[in-house]
Structure 1
Amino acid sequence: MKISTPTIMALLATLFAVSSGYTQLHTLPIKSTPDLQAYFHYTGNGKQIISGHRGSYIAGYPENAIETFEYVLKHTAAFFEIDPRLTKDSVIVLLHDSTLDRTTTGKGRLADYTWEEVKQLRLKDKDGKPTPYRIPTLQEAIDWARGKTVLNLDKKDVPLPMTANIIKKNNAATFVMVTVHNAKQAKFYYDADSRLMMSAFVKTEKALKEYEDAGVPWKNMIAYIGSENKPANKIMFDLLHARAVMCMISAAPVYDKLPIVQERAASYRDIFVQGADILESDYPVEVAAAMKKAAGVSDVASCLNCQPP
């Protein structure tokens, strides 16, 4: 029997993947701006989405590292909140703190180092142990994320016009979104590019009205409503869901700090039960496992469409 060349190539690719330990990434189904807006559009069907806070921050994998993003996507679909900052020579890199000490082998302020100097440093994991990984540039993260996931750029020291420009230069509005802390910032980005998706701080009814008065369409936003899972959130859930806006809770400051895995899992499940649509966490793989257990499914990635228990 003659085997066709395409079949042989497929078999070789499979053998290579097995022998090299390659694991297929769970990518997001987003190819265009309408896809992005539809993915984050609230419909009431119980869709639950995971956001990796700074990617993730676990043993062996540092925050704000491309290798960490890869690790997460090997286990579950997710998008990533990341932290762009400027070096001394105005290269945009990913680093949460203004100083290097906590997460890298360097010391002092990032702003005192050039990119060439920063490249020599290595990132630390959550236990403070150096890893083989270095600080990436935002450009490298954008290049990596295309066709895989969505990046949510937090607001640090990079000027808004500079952020808007790098997104425009890369034609990346289909998979790069921006965090905005108020309606003024949202209006700037919307005027710069009406396609941009934003993660907006909408913690109060007053803030909600300010966004509406600014004329920024809700289809361009998800709403961050805080870090506490409390009954009072229902007011904002109802107001935002009525506008087809997904609501996000961040577990990082509170529930990620719980010392026991089972306690964290229970808190993650309850955040969705109480009405959140998006959960941001330092432990996105744990969140996926908690969702999987609640839904009784075998595939973690399919939990992105799980119904709440």
Structure 2
Amino acid sequence: MNFKAFHLLLLIFVLFSCKNAPENYLETNTQTAQEDYFHTTTETLVSAHRGGSGIKNYPENALETIQYLHKQGISVFEIDLFQTSDREIMLFHDNHLERTTTGNGSLKGKSASDLLKLNLVDDFGNETSYKIPYLKDVLAWAKGKNAYLMLDFKDSAKYEDVIDLVREMDMQDQCVLISYSTGQAKKQHRLAPEMMISVSARNEKELNWILETEIPTDKMIAFTGTKLSPPALYKRLNELKIPAILGTLGNLDGRAAANKEHLYKEWADMGIQIIATDRPLDAYKALK
């Protein structure tokens, strides 16, 4: 066999092997850009709760707020998802409209066109010109940027529909599915084995429960709650190479706001890779 014929046969073999490789092999054996980011970053990341809150003229769960914070250096955004009566997936947290929009009454039964008639209101009661955003528009903006979305499902949001949209826009590497129980995490992993999941690990018991599932540890981010856990929990998560999230929203943010911004750095030094906060700019500055 001559040299050219040998290389032709080799090329055919490689192409045939790739074409016939099991789909789950490709998913589980290729490290994603997302895993690279969360697992190899050397800095403690700041996650903006509800896409960013407590910022004058920038409402929570608004694309414009996410864009503003991204320009300031924030790269991780926790956002709340719900589905309208016509099955559109949009960003919104509450069950009622009064607090964050110019509307009133229940969110239930509202269509996307109903909601687009409203303007978003910031945390200080200021009306803005911003609208309740579609998830597809937030995904389109984030695609290809250093921007990562942690997807929190409200009661109306179906896992399957959200995952289908994320896949349609090829954004699996930039989205994390949020679960609050082992059962939810297992279901999310069955539906989207290629995606990362935020799992509840507020104590050793919860961590052991999630470790007993089939979810690979390199697909996990561990939410350790909104109060400090024993140092041993963070140490164990670090040894397992599972990034740890501390939710400082609420009491811990309040402590830091009382002229104790250095606390964000102290918490990070305990072994926290992600700080989820209602004070993203303050936390980011303190960590820098």
The TM-score range, normalised by the shorter chain, is: 0.7 to 0.9
Q: Equivalent residue for 1:205?
A: 204
Q: Equivalent residue for 1:270?
A: 266
Q: Equivalent residue for 2:46?
A: 50
Cα distance in 1, alignment partners of residues 201 and 267 from structure 2: 17
How far off its partner does 1:87 sit? Answer: 1.6
Partner-residue secondary structure (3-state), 1:270: helix
1:153 to 151, 154, 158: 151
Cα distance in 2, alignment partners of residues 37 and 177 from structure 1: 10
Deviations, residues 165-204 of structure 1 (Å, cap 9, x unaligned): 2222222111111101122222222222221011111112
* 1:249/1:278 contact within 8 Å kept: yes
Q: Equivalent residue for 2:169?
A: 170
Deviations, residues 83-113 of structure 1 (Å, cap 9, x unaligned): 0012222211101111111111111111232
Return the index of the structure with the highest Cα Rg. Answer: 2
Cα distance in 2, alignment partners of residues 133 and 147 from structure 1: 24
**Greater relative contact order (CA < 8 Å, ≥ 6 in sequence):** 1
Cα distance in 2, alignment partners of residues 34 and 160 from structure 1: 21
Change (3 A) 1:130 1:257: farther
Deviations, residues 110-144 of structure 1 (Å, cap 9, x unaligned): 12321101001111111011111110011111111
5 Å-filtered alignment, 1:151-300, equals 151-157=149-155, 158-229=157-228, 232-258=229-255, 260=257, 262-263=259-260, 265-292=261-288
Cα distance in 2, alignment partners of residues 260 and 219 from structure 1: 34
Cα distance in 2, alignment partners of residues 234 and 226 from structure 1: 13
How far off its partner does 1:262 sit? Answer: 2.9
5 Å-filtered alignment, 1:123-162, equals 123-148=120-145, 149-157=147-155, 158-162=157-161
Cα distance in 1, alignment partners of residues 86 and 256 from structure 2: 40
Change (3 A) 1:131 1:256: farther
* 1:33/1:195 contact within 8 Å kept: no
Change (3 A) 1:259 1:184: closer
* 2:102/2:118 contact within 8 Å kept: yes
* 1:164/1:189 contact within 8 Å kept: no
Partner-residue secondary structure (3-state), 1:287: helix
How far off its partner does 1:163 sit? Answer: 2.2
Normalised TM-score (structure 1): 0.78
Residues 1:74 and 2:35 are matched in the alignment: no
5 Å-filtered alignment, 1:51-130, equals 51-57=47-53, 58-130=55-127
Q: Equivalent residue for 2:4?
A: none
Amino acid in the other structure paired with 1:287: A
What 5-or-longer segments of structure 2 have no aligned partner? Answer: 1-29
Amino acid in the other structure paired with 1:183: T
What 5-or-longer segments of structure 1 have no aligned partner? Answer: 1-31, 293-309
Cα distance in 2, alignment partners of residues 153 and 62 from structure 1: 18
How far off its partner does 1:62 sit? Answer: 0.5
How far off its partner does 1:261 sit? Answer: 6.3
Partner-residue secondary structure (3-state), 2:287: helix
Cα distance in 1, alignment partners of residues 97 and 105 from structure 2: 6
Partner-residue secondary structure (3-state), 1:110: coil
* 2:48/2:74 contact within 8 Å kept: no
Cα distance in 2, alignment partners of residues 218 and 262 from structure 1: 37
Cα distance in 1, alignment partners of residues 282 and 149 from structure 2: 20
Partner-residue secondary structure (3-state), 1:40: helix
Paired residue total: 256
Residues 1:35 and 2:23 are matched in the alignment: no
